[in-house]
Chains A and B, each alone.
Chain A
Amino acid sequence: GAGVSQSPSNKVTEKGKDVELRCDPISGHTALYWYRQSLGQGLEFLIYFQGNSAPDKSGLPSDRFSAERTGGSVSTLTIQRTQQEDSAVYLCASSLQGLSYEQYFGPGTRLTVT
């Protein structure tokens, strides 16, 4: 079956602009996660969705970052007034609910802020 998909694969934006990153999880996966991978910082958790609600937003680095999920499926991560330190690969993952279920990752969106 289809895996997790993300779009765009690459995004170059100017400092101060807003960007939207999209994630399509695996059908039937109720849990959805956003992570960020940057040099020197490793993989950082951003936000977790269960259905359309986000019980854990603890990883969002500032109020410029927000995310939503609709229909228990597609999720959008929005970064407002982008800064150069936002440059990273943004990874989305989805899973079934439960401790033992692995998270399936998408290919990521590489964001470059110039």
Chain B
Amino acid sequence: AQKITQTQPGMFVQEKEAVTLDCTYDTSDQSYGLFWYKQPSSGEMIFLIYQGSYDEQNATEGRYSLNFQKARKSANLVISASQLGDSAMYFCAMRDGGAQKLVFGQGTRLTINP
């Protein structure tokens, strides 16, 4: 069965610093996709970045990058130059080739301090 683990329930970071949010996953499939979503206090789920299991390059989207280490089954999210608006819950999720649903981790609450 698929499983996503986010070991950091909460993180506090100073504004403008870079931050890494950890995510490890477990699947027996060779084909899968990894996603990161942001959920601000308003509640909406905002898609940030995607990494496919066959992608050789780490995904990047603006200030977001995904540090994909396939052998370690790790898909950490890196946010560069953090901003106050980055304060939110962050969820790592996975979808494997045999299923359509997303399996989510428990989330990390990120707080950016001025």
Contact = CB atoms under 8 A, between A and B. Distances in A.
B94 to A, nearest CB: 11
Contacts, number: 51
Interface in A81-114: 89, 91, 93, 99-100, 102-105, 107-108
Given A43-B104, A45-B103, A99 B97 contact: yes
A45 B101 contact: yes
Contacts of A108: 43-44
Contacts of A1: none
Given A99-B33, A107-B43, A107-B44, A50 B100 contact: yes
Interface stretch (B45-53, B64-72, B77-85): B45-53
A64 B27 CA distance: 31
A63 to B, nearest CB: 20
B33 A100 contact: yes
Contacts of A105: 37, 44-45
Categorize the interface residue count of chain B. 20 to 34
A6 to B, nearest CB: 11
A102 B45 contact: no
A89 B43 CA distance: 9
A104 B101 CA distance: 13
Nearest to A49: B100
* Residue in A91, A100, A102, A108 whose Cβ sees the most chain B Cβ within 10 Å: A102
A73 to B, nearest CB: 18
B50 to A, nearest CB: 6
Contacts of B99: 56
A110 to B, nearest CB: 8
Given A42-B106, A100-B33, 5 more contacts: A31-B100, A33-B100, A43-B102, A99-B32, A104-B47
Interface of A: 31, 33, 35, 42-43, 45, 48, 50, 55-56, 59, 89, 91, 93, 99-100, 102-105, 107-108
